Amino acid sequence: MGKVDYSKYAKLSPFELKDNLIELAQSKTDRMMLNAGRGNPNFLATIPRRAFFQLGLFSATESEFSFSYMPEGLGGFPRPVGLQSRFDNFILENRDKPGIVFLGKAVSYVRDQLGLDPDLFLLEMVEGILGCNYPVPDRMLRVSETIIKEYVLREMGVQGMQKSDLDLFAVEGGTAAMAYIFNSLKENKIIKNGDRIAIGSPIFTPYLEIPKLNDYQLEEVLIEADPKLGWQYPESELRKLEDPSIKAFFLVNPSNPPSVKMSDEGLAILADIVKKRPDLIILTDDVYGTFADNFKSLFAICPDNTILVYSFSKYFGATGWRLGVIALSNNNVLDKQIANLSKKREERAGRPLFIFNHRPSKH
């Protein structure tokens, strides 16, 4: 591979640099470059996919086993009794096939490392891959939520928080997460037309358009990273968030396109700001967090004020599957604000207000 003079890229903007890197990655001599910074990664993980398809074959057999007296091609719900034993036999009989070892290890990990019931896990996975039942609870499947909580807490650098301290909401990728969050904030009267929202800049261009949409009509306040500081946010920029007229701070961390995680100093400044502004809402898209060494999310620093969005699309090369989660602390500021708003509306109306969400009533 020939040497490339990278000095010529020093004065480019993040967006120009990204375009140049994509062009470089597509050149004949540099096609082996793995690129996660583009809209769609140019790689994917094959071993878990092979395991996924093997699980599908096992699940189809389980379905046919339930209706073994019916004509070929017709199946029923998987039977919980003896499921793990039949799965173990499937792994043993197919141990030389691609993906089988990974599949067996996945179930062992859930049982031995996470301490979860392997029978419940297998039943949930088999029913899930067959798509034969409504998801219950519809927010997120029970065993899956426990597993993803473990993953999110570890990868986002969260310490001292128990899995019972947060809720996850399965969503169709990061873009859907943003749509649901902004719609929910608007419907619950937490934000309204004309409110001010801070945005960490530079940022993924479509995210700049969200506050301007007719549905929201929010006023943007840019919190600008400084290239001279390695694309970190200067303290003077972050201190803009002390302005009580700013309802929320929206950022991508690590940033896109600069691809730089927020420094420990920046995290500490935000933690200090939240102490002064306990009403501040932080919305962080941490899809690139799993690419950074020793990553620490704002959710680890200010969990009660932070809405965390994580997507599996980039790290696992799975953009087409639309897999993501929203994480919220059980003691989040949103529930408190909804409760306060509900009390005010109830007082104005002079009658009880029916609240669908049970959590705000705790406060």
Higher per-residue pLDDT: 346 or 252: 252
pTM score: 0.84
Mean pLDDT, range 79-104, rounded to an integer: 97
pLDDT of residue 350: 53
Q: Residue 15: inside a domain, yes or no?
A: no
**C-beta of residue 281 within 8 angstroms of C-beta of residue 190:** yes
Mean pLDDT, range 223-250, rounded to an integer: 97
Mean pLDDT, range 179-195, rounded to an integer: 92
Instruction: Say which range, 138-152, 200-214, 302-316, has the weakest mean pLDDT.
Output: 200-214
Bridge partners (DSSP) of residue 222 are: 199
65 pLDDT more than 70: yes
Is residue 189 domain-shared with residue 241, that is, in the same domain? yes
- Which burial class, exposed, middle or buried, applies to 55 when counting CB atoms under 10 A from its CB (0-12, 13-18, 19+)? buried
Is residue 186 domain-shared with residue 88, that is, in the same domain? no
Q: Residue 87: inside a domain, yes or no?
A: yes
Bridge partners (DSSP) of residue 224 are: 201
pLDDT of residue 346: 56
Dist CA 50 CA 163 (whole Å): 30
Mean pLDDT, range 244-255, rounded to an integer: 96
pLDDT of residue 194: 92
Higher per-residue pLDDT: 39 or 295: 295
The model's confidence at residue 11, banded by pLDDT at 50, 70 and 90, is low
8 pLDDT more than 70: no
Which helix (H) or strand (E) element contains residue 72? Answer: none
CATH code for position 256: 3.40.640.10
Number of domains in the chain: 2
Is residue 112 domain-shared with residue 189, that is, in the same domain? no
The model's confidence at residue 1, banded by pLDDT at 50, 70 and 90, is very low
Query: Which residues fall within 8 angstroms of residue 354, CB to CB, at 6 or more apart?
Result: none
CA terminus-to-terminus distance, the chain:
62
Is residue 164 domain-shared with residue 286, that is, in the same domain? yes
Q: Which two tokens stand for residue 213?
A: 């949409």
Which of 102, 133, 164 is a domain's end point?
Answer: 133
pLDDT of residue 353: 40
pLDDT of residue 356: 41
pLDDT of residue 22: 67
pLDDT of residue 209: 78
Instruction: Say which range, 15-19, 113-117, 188-192, has the weakest mean pLDDT.
Output: 15-19
Cα–Cα nearest to 92, from 78, 104, 82:
104
Q: Residue 35: inside a domain, yes or no?
A: no
**C-beta of residue 107 within 8 angstroms of C-beta of residue 126:** no
Mean pLDDT, range 189-201, rounded to an integer: 94
Q: Residue 11: inside a domain, yes or no?
A: no
SS3 category, 199: strand
Q: Residue 81: inside a domain, yes or no?
A: yes
pLDDT of residue 215: 78
Mean pLDDT, range 200-229, rounded to an integer: 86
pLDDT of residue 159: 93
pLDDT of residue 147: 97
pLDDT of residue 2: 54
Q: What is the DSSP string of 243-270?
A: -TTEEEEEEESS-TTT--PPPHHHHHHH
**C-beta of residue 218 within 8 angstroms of C-beta of residue 196:** yes
Tell me the residue range of the domain where 265 lies: 151-346
CATH code for position 88: 1.10.20.110
Is residue 80 domain-shared with residue 162, that is, in the same domain? no
Is residue 319 domain-shared with residue 171, that is, in the same domain? yes
Is residue 101 domain-shared with residue 158, that is, in the same domain? no
103 pLDDT more than 60: yes
What is the percent of the chain where pLDDT is above 90? 69
Mean pLDDT, range 33-45, rounded to an integer: 79
Q: Residue 63: inside a domain, yes or no?
A: yes
Higher per-residue pLDDT: 212 or 361: 212
Q: What is the average pLDDT score of the chain?
A: 88
What backbone torsions phi and psi does residue 170 show, to the nearest 5 degrees? -70, 135
Query: Which residues fall within 8 angstroms of residue 229, CB to CB, at 6 or more apart?
Result: none
Is residue 218 domain-shared with residue 317, that is, in the same domain? yes
**C-beta of residue 338 within 8 angstroms of C-beta of residue 195:** no
Which of 84, 100, 133 is a domain's end point?
Answer: 133
342 pLDDT more than 80: no
Dist CA 243 CA 234 (whole Å): 16
Is residue 86 domain-shared with residue 176, that is, in the same domain? no
DSSP state of 329: E
Cα–Cα nearest to 87, from 110, 70, 68, 113:
110
pLDDT of residue 67: 79
Mean pLDDT, range 109-129, rounded to an integer: 97
pLDDT of residue 4: 58
Q: Residue 102: inside a domain, yes or no?
A: yes
Which of 133, 165, 199 is a domain's end point?
Answer: 133
Higher per-residue pLDDT: 112 or 72: 112
C-alpha pair distances (Å), 206 with each of 71, 195, 211, 256: 51, 19, 10, 11
254 pLDDT more than 60: yes
Higher per-residue pLDDT: 330 or 8: 330
Is residue 167 domain-shared with residue 288, that is, in the same domain? yes
Is residue 92 domain-shared with residue 175, that is, in the same domain? no
pLDDT of residue 97: 98
Q: Residue 352: inside a domain, yes or no?
A: no
DSSP state of 234: P
Is residue 322 domain-shared with residue 247, that is, in the same domain? yes
